[in-house]
Amino acid sequence: MNAPVPRALASQLDALTALLDGDHSLLTEDQRRSGTTLKEQSEFRLHRSMAHTTVGLFGATGSGKSSLFNRIVGADVAPTGVIRPTTFKVSAALWHEAGASELLDWLAVDEVYVAGSEPALILLDLPDFDSVALENRAVVDRLVGQVDVLVWVVERQKYADRVIHQDYIRPLSHRASVTLAVLNQIDLLSPDGRKTVLQGLRQTLADDGLDKVEVFPVSAFTEEGVPALRKKIMAIAQRRQAIGQHLSADIAQWAGQVLDEAGLAGGAPLSSGPSAAQIADFRRAVCEAVGVAAWGKNVAEVYRKWSAQSTGWMPLSWLCRRFPCLCGHRVVTETAPNTSTVSLPSPTAEGRAALQIAVRRLAAQVSVGIPSGWRDAAPGGDDLANGLAGALADTAYPLSTSWWWRLGKFLQQLALLVALVGVGWYLVAWVTQALHLPEVPITKIEGWPVPLLLFLAGALAGPVLGGGFRIFGALGAWWHRRFAESAARKHVDAAIKAQVVAPLQASVEQVNQLRKALQKAQRQ
């Protein structure tokens, strides 16, 4: 005779279990602790006779709940008297004895009276919550979360008592569907007094969030109203829905409280991460911070210098290599290598600061709507900036010699050789003349000495060729600069995605998933 777990409650328990078992670092320790207690208590209750409904009578000293308990049961089970407090133990009246032992043990009932066979019900008479005995208060605090149905018993003079409303009724108002209110000792009130007190009690309950809770005016002394209350309790037990309603309300209240504390109750889910416009602005800021444009300019300068070294006028190239100050620049390498790389330099202190500012700005934009408590769990701007800087540290652009450099170098060597032949011709002719050796004839063309023509041709061809190839070098440097900057931006895009966007998206998704799970747990 065990009722199945309601589908909605099973779904809530699954969501609660997933929240507590998952890696949800956004939950505080207190939230996780209270959620774990709720989960364990729910599982304990579901594994201990779902056929039986537990109903607890809660009240202050002098409310007459023990007398009322006896009238509902129809026997003098609980002790009553003028000594306060009277109730020190948890007494239970049991209907349908089979299968109730584990549940009674879990409730830690001291005395059990078998009152009948149907319906499956355990009615509890609890100690006074305002008892001078602290252990009584502890028993009430424990059982108020364990029983399925709460019956608040008040009397004509203390129905608005601050303690019962502030410490118990109001905090447990989420269990309105399994809550009853009883105004006892109405036999001591006049008809007008009953009306006034009942109206005041209903207003006080409404202020607590229990405006729809049914209020039973009774007299445990004359038994007026007791049959109606007994009938209501028996009907609740007969339906066997209070267990699910009780646990479902507790889980929903916990989930709602977490959502409220986080500031995520209601509203649409957060965006999935940075927008395209935000990423574009961030990309520009990163490129500026790490000096992509300056790096591209450096790539172009290296290419231009290597091109000039390979294709420039050879005497001038030699002077620039040996005496860089004469040419106004520092030569990167003595000769242009076949292949080499130009690495993106590490950001300067100013660039790193700008990078951190850009990352923090993007993180702040993405975190709009995330509560401050959960925003602290998102990746920090400085951490993201350091990761981004590290990812960009290996950015390099490969440079290799161009085919026309070899042609230019060959032509420059040929021009130099022609000029040297002209000079050598004159030198040999002068030496032979000085040593009275057979003279070396100086051939002329149109009256111009051939050695002079050779020298002039070689001497003029070198600078002219160098100037022409310098134009090609400038065009090549421009092309490599654009290509290098494009490659750097692609590398920046990849680094941004891996080091910044992905962690931020994961953080937002974690919040969305947690809110979704909490809303599922809240759905009764």
**Assigned token pair, 217:** 């005016």
DSSP code string of 199-248: HHHHHHHHHTT-TT-EEEE--TTT-TTHHHHHHHHHHHHHHT-HHHHHHH
Q: Which helix H or strand E contains 35, and what residues bound it? A: helix 29-46
DSSP string, 284-324: HHHHHHHTHHHHHHHHHHHHHHHHHHHHS-HHHHHHHHH-H
Question: Parallel, antiparallel, or unpaired for β 214-217 and 111-116?
Answer: unpaired
Asked whether the beta carbons of 210 and 179 are under 8 A apart, the reply is yes
pLDDT in tens, 260-276: 887 776 655 666 677 78
pLDDT at 29: 86
**Mean pLDDT, range 58-85, rounded to an integer:** 78
DSSP 3-state assignment of 270?
Answer: coil
- Report DSSP state, residue 2: -
Q: How high is the mean pLDDT of the chain? A: 82
Residue 211 pLDDT exceeds 60: yes
What's the 3-state SS for 66-108? Answer: HHHHHHHHCCCCCCCCCCCCCCCCCEEEEECCCCCHHHHHHHC
| pLDDT value for 84 | 45
Residues across the chain: 524
Q: What is the model's pLDDT at position 391? A: 63
pLDDT of res. 40: 92
For residues 360 and 382, what is the distance between their CA atoms, to the nearest angstrom? 7
Q: What is the mean pLDDT of residues 271-286?
A: 81
| Omega cis (within 30) before 217 | no
pLDDT tens per residue across span 492-513: 888 888 877 887 778 778 777 8
Asked if 442 contacts 450 with a C-beta cutoff of 8 angstroms, the reply is yes
Nearest one of 41, 228, 61, 262 to 145, comparing CA atoms: 41
Q: What is the DSSP letter of 112?
A: E
Sign of CA dihedral 324, 327, 333, 335: negative
pLDDT of residue 231: 96
Place 305 in a pLDDT band, splitting at 50, 70 and 90.
confident
Contact between 210 and 180 under an 8 Å Cβ cutoff? The reply is no
Q: Which of 68-72, 204-208, 256-260 has the lowest mean pLDDT?
A: 256-260
Q: CA nearest 337: which of 400, 409, 403?
A: 400
Spell out the domains of the chain, with CATH numbers in brackets.
32-261 (3.40.50.300), 276-522 (no CATH)
What residues pair up with 112 in beta bridges, in sequence order? 92
- pLDDT-derived band at 381 (thresholds 50, 70, 90) equals low
pLDDT of residue 3: 61
Beta bridge mates, 58: 152
Residue labelled with tokens 């100086």: 442
pLDDT digits (tens, 9 = 90+) for 7-37: 888 899 998 988 888 766 678 889 889 999 9
113-164 pLDDT tens trace: 998 888 999 999 998 887 766 788 889 999 999 999 999 999 988 888 888 8
319 vs 449 pLDDT, higher one: 449
CA distances from 96 to 33, 54, 122 (A): 35, 12, 9
